[in-house]
């Protein structure tokens, strides 16, 4: 039930601190990640030479964040493949390949077919799923459940946060098993425990601000989203949420692609969200994104930045600044996505749309 909320989506966005906390619970021992469901399955991770993460839609954006996490901690190459593209060519997979599928419902036909195909080719399979006993986990060698609780709204929100959380845990678990973690991993494990509170802080601090912003933009016809590193999948997710529930044209780009084409789209008044990576992690990446902001601003874009608290470098060029708390690079997506979800929801509401039941979409796509 919706409780006191105006929509399931509003309720599920608000439940994200819990979704993250419940997904972490029971999977941290001291300063290490130990996922009990993977007990005795070390050989899934030790004998492999590559990982392919396969999924559709929002889950495929969580997969892109997972790629960064698994490569960083488990030191194994990771590719992300849309499930519906995966088996319609002749992919190079075998028993040295771990195919990780991600699905909220566990019933998405495209993803299920990709998993079956991978198994037939001899790959090892692991499912990240939110629905106990669903078809995809049953068809996989192993499963790591996300514990977001049932997601009713068609547009995925808390399941996405739980998927990213599970992939961070999987990366740290794999890294431990493979012996590839460095000393900084223990700090990240400690920081995981603070995540639910940080997500709650973004909700508390930015819901009203971002909703107001959306209210002013109800007539907007197109919104662009830029991000770099793990901010890139968040840009893609911000754009998808807006398309799905507010029927506004939206596109996400890797910020570095701007000058290779998309900058031609910028005209005066064009709203552009920019996910700014923390300057504490890489001054170079941060400065590159700030110069992207300058470039679009010089062409008249209306720039809305999502930046960490205290990042003053963005102030001279931003029309609006949305703040997120400080976090490690791979944890930032969990904070940056929240204002984008709120924005899409508020804009759809301002247009008088039903955010839970967008046109033409079903919660679970059980046909190919």
Binding site for ligand F6R (CB under 6 A): 56-59, 103-105, 108, 111, 155-156, 240, 244, 364-365
- Nearer CB in complex with ligand F6R: 54/270: 54
- 169 contacts 153 by C-beta, under 8 angstroms: no
* Calpha distance 279→293 (Å, rounded): 15
Question: Which pair of tokens denotes residue 27?
Answer: 């999977």
Is-catalytic flag, 363? yes
Question: Which pair of tokens denotes residue 143?
Answer: 């499963």
- 289 contacts 255 by C-beta, under 8 angstroms: yes
* Calpha distance 153→150 (Å, rounded): 10
Give the up-direction half-sphere exposure of residue 15: CA atoms within 13 A in the CB hemisphere: 26
Total residues found in the chain within this entry: 368
* Calpha distance 241→261 (Å, rounded): 23
- Nearer CB in complex with ligand F6R: 152/265: 152
- Nearer CB in complex with ligand F6R: 58/140: 58
- Nearer CB in complex with ligand F6R: 16/111: 111
As measured in angstroms, the least distance from the Cβ of 152 to ligand F6R is 11
What is the separation of C-alpha 160 from the centre of its chain, rounded to a whole number of angstroms? 6
- 8 contacts 14 by C-beta, under 8 angstroms: no
As measured in angstroms, the least distance from the Cβ of 33 to ligand F6R is 23
Q: Locate tokens 């068609």: which residue?
A: 154
- Nearer CB in complex with ligand F6R: 155/337: 155
Question: Which pair of tokens denotes residue 187?
Answer: 């700090």
Nearest residue to the partner ligand F6R, using Cβ: 57
Question: Which pair of tokens denotes residue 162?
Answer: 């739980």
Please compute Rg for the chain using Cα positions: 20
User: Of the listed 116, 243, 351, 363, which one is catalytic?
Assistant: 363
As measured in angstroms, the least distance from the Cβ of 246 to ligand F6R is 12
| Strand 28-29 versus strand 32-33 pairing type | antiparallel
- Nearer CB in complex with ligand F6R: 127/278: 127
* Calpha distance 247→58 (Å, rounded): 16
- Nearer CB in complex with ligand F6R: 106/227: 106
218: Cβ contacts below 8 Å, ≥ 6 apart? 347, 350, 351
- 341 contacts 241 by C-beta, under 8 angstroms: yes
Q: How many CB atoms lie within 10 A of CB 368?
A: 10
Positions annotated as catalytic residues are 363
């Amino acid at each position: 039930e919706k409780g006191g909320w105006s929509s399931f989506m509003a309720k599920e966005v608000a439940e994200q601190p819990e979704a993250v906390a419940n997904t972490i619970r029971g999977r941290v021992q001291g300063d290490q990640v130990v996922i009990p469901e993977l007990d005795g399955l070390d050989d899934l991770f030790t004998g492999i030479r590559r990982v392919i993460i396969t999924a559709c839609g929002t889950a495929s954006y969580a997969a892109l964040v997972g790629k960064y996490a698994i490569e960083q901690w488990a030191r194994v190459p990771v590719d992300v493949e849309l499930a519906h593209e995966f088996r319609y060519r002749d992919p190079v997979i075998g028993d040295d390949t771990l195919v990780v599928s991600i699905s909220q419902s566990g019933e998405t036909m495209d993803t299920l077919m990709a998993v079956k195909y991978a198994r037939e080719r001899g790959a090892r399979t692991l499912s990240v799923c939110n629905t106990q006993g669903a078809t995809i986990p049953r068809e996989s060698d192993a499963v790591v459940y996300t514990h977001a609780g049932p997601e009713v709204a068609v547009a995925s929100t808390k399941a996405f946060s739980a998927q990213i959380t599970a992939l961070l845990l999987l990366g740290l678990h794999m890294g431990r098993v493979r012996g590839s973690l460095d000393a900084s991993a223990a700090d990240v494990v400690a920081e995981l425990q603070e995540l639910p509170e940080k997500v709650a802080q973004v909700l508390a601090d930015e819901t009203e601000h971002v909703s107001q912003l959306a209210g002013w933009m109800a007539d907007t016809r197109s919104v662009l989203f830029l991000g770099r590193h793990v901010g890139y999948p968040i840009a893609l997710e911000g754009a998808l949420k807006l398309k799905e529930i507010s029927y506004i044209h939206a596109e996400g780009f890797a910020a570095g692609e701007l000058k290779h084409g998309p900058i031609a789209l910028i005209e005066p008044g064009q709203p552009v969200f920019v996910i700014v990576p923390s300057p504490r992690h890489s001054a170079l990446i941060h400065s590159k994104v700030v110069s992207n902001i300058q470039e679009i601003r010089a062409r008249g874009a209306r720039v809305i930045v999502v930046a960490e608290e205290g990042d003053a470098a963005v102030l001279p060029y931003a029309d609006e600044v949305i703040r997120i708390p400080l976090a490690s690079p791979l944890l930032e997506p969990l904070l940056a996505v929240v204002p984008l979800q709120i924005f899409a929801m508020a804009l759809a509401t301002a247009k008088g749309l039903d955010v839970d039941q967008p046109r033409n979409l079903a919660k679970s796509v059980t046909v190919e």
